[in-house]
Amino acid sequence: MSTFNVLPLATNRQITRRCVVAGIGMAALGSILAACGGDNAAPTATSRSAPTPAAASPVVSTSGGAPTSAVSSAASSTGQTAGKGGTLIYNGGSNPSGFDPHIVGDTVAWNVLDNLFDRLVRLDAKTQLPTPSLAEKYDASSDGLTYTFQLRKGVKFHNGREMKAADVKYSFERIQDPKVPAVAKGYFAALDHIEVPDDYTVRLVYKSVFAPLVIALTRLETAIVPREEVEKADQWAAHPIGSGPFKFVSFTKDQSVVLDRNPDYWEQGLPRLDRVEQRVITKDETSVINLQTGDIQATGVAASSLSKIKGAKGINVQLIQSTFWPHLSVNCSKPPFNDVRVRQAIRLGIKRDDIQALAFENLGSISNTHLPEGNPYRAEVQGWNYDPAKAKQLLADAGLGAGFKTTMRITPSTAWEPPAAQIIQDNLKALNITVAIEQIEATTWFSEVFAQSQFEMSMTAHASKVDPDLSMYDILHSGQLGTKNYTKFSDPEMDRLLDMGRATADVEARKKIYADAQKIFVERTGYFVLNLQQQVYGLRDTVQQFTLLPTGELRWKETSLTR
């Protein structure tokens, strides 16, 4: 029996205990602590030291049915023991869109890059709070404007050079560079300057409070990169160099990405695997067959294929409540979607119960907002029910009573999209809206839809982050820092709320701000949440410690194979 580590949302007690033990008191962490019910006042300065690399962490492990808590084990029930070495063959589902951690935005690429690159801090495997990584400790000034990071000595990039403070400074300044389409620009918008007192100290000095900074620095898009490699532009695009637990070997389009173990990785005893091969198998039925035959050892599986692998010999089925929110989106800058009445009509004209049953096999749950249950900033926004009569009236008010034609661009490699698209197509037909469905490759979706907003209607799934700013600002703000706002949504009130939220440390004030922002999200934006996704994974029973965060970060460094 294999084990599968899924990082659950931390409980109030876990967060409170962890924050007290660690002495976390930065604005963002103080906000999270208070929002989750902690009753300990945050100190005026913080300091965190790196923990000893942990062994097993809590897991969610099921073989069909609701996820249940369990304690992970390195040994299987068959008496096999987890060994060091071996090659994990995992199906990523499609080609990665690129290999620059500051730029890419797709999960398939993240699976690779999360294991090639590291950042100053990482999310802890138990609490989802920041824990030291490249920085072995960090602290903040009492006013929340100056953050000091002490770097770990002896960390090497894959080219053999030691990582130093100048690399951190370069990486963050590269993200700020207007010529680089980096998605994390908003994290450094209020940054005044970066100080490098010595080779192992970095100081970020902000002009104003950026509440979620430390949480933001756990994200892949803040990865530390070596300047000399980045400046080899063509080579950098094809052969990324980081300081993570695995080293890049090769990428063959439509076949696989191959990574080898980094023998110089700073965490003692990790990684356990010798190699990871991420395959490109786009069809769900093919990946299921490959899993059954043992040609691959791990893969995401469409909800509709759950019955094919549940109970199968040698396969464990894992149901994971993720923070992904599959959705329909429309381009708010293109007629007729630039009229909020049209967007509201579409919202009222979609039967999400049918989508939930047929596209998601009733896994996961229907939600109006995109923040998951358990997030302290989630607001229960009402007002989204199936009401075709009201939808028709809104279209008539917009001068479109006779309907219109549009095109929806989807990626068939994402198994829920085609059935969901067909249901929406049928629903909107009743409103005299004719939807043509265009199927495109995932890489085309990212280069055209995501990067250039070349679409009218589309579908994908985003992942909510721990702090609501990281789940809203970049996809909804109309300014230059709305780096992922491919729906081109523009609303002055939303911009004002998002600007306030990231500059406010008071928890109750932030809750009110993000409740108002979620109301606008539901009523006015070009996003239509279809589901809070429960994902299905299939694993061969030789796979141990396959660790996946609810936000989609896949950590191969802890994974091992039984012998």
Each residue's pLDDT tens digit, 254-287: 999 999 999 999 999 999 999 999 999 999 999 9
Residue 150 is assigned to a structural domain of this protein: yes
**Do 338 and 221 belong together in one domain?**
no
**Do 462 and 540 belong together in one domain?**
no
**Do 518 and 547 belong together in one domain?**
no
Residue 90 is assigned to a structural domain of this protein: yes
**Do 539 and 441 belong together in one domain?**
no
**Do 402 and 524 belong together in one domain?**
yes
Q: Tell me the average pLDDT of the chain.
A: 87
Residue 253 is assigned to a structural domain of this protein: no
Residue 372 is assigned to a structural domain of this protein: yes
Report the distance separating Cα 338 and Cα 551, nearest Å: 31
Q: 148: helix, coil or strand?
A: strand
**Do 97 and 117 belong together in one domain?**
yes
**Do 495 and 540 belong together in one domain?**
no
**Do 558 and 473 belong together in one domain?**
no
Residue 258 is assigned to a structural domain of this protein: no
- Here the CATH number for the domain that contains residue 441 is 3.10.105.10
Report the distance separating Cα 425 and Cα 414, nearest Å: 17
Instruction: Report phi then psi at 399, rounded to 5.
Output: 80, 20
Q: How confident is the model at residue 74 (pLDDT cuts 50, 70, 90)?
A: very low
Q: Which domain, by its residues, includes 484?
A: 324-532
* Mean pLDDT value of segment 166-183: 97
pLDDT at 78: 42
The answer to whether the peptide bond before residue 336 is cis (omega within 30 degrees of 0) is: yes
* Mean pLDDT value of segment 26-38: 44
> For residue 313, how far is the Cα from the chain centroid?
32
Q: What is the number of other CB atoms lying within 10 angstroms of the CB of residue 307?
A: 12
Q: What is the DSSP letter of 318?
A: E
Q: How many domains does the chain have?
A: 2
Instruction: Report phi then psi at 198, rounded to 5.
Output: -155, -175
Instruction: Report phi then psi at 85, rounded to 5.
Output: 105, -175
**Do 60 and 41 belong together in one domain?**
yes
**Do 162 and 192 belong together in one domain?**
yes
pLDDT at 27: 47
- What pairs with residue 137 in β-bridges? 49, 150
**Do 504 and 558 belong together in one domain?**
no
Interval 185-244: pLDDT, tens: 999 999 999 999 999 999 999 999 999 999 999 999 999 999 999 999 889 989 999 999
**Do 557 and 462 belong together in one domain?**
no
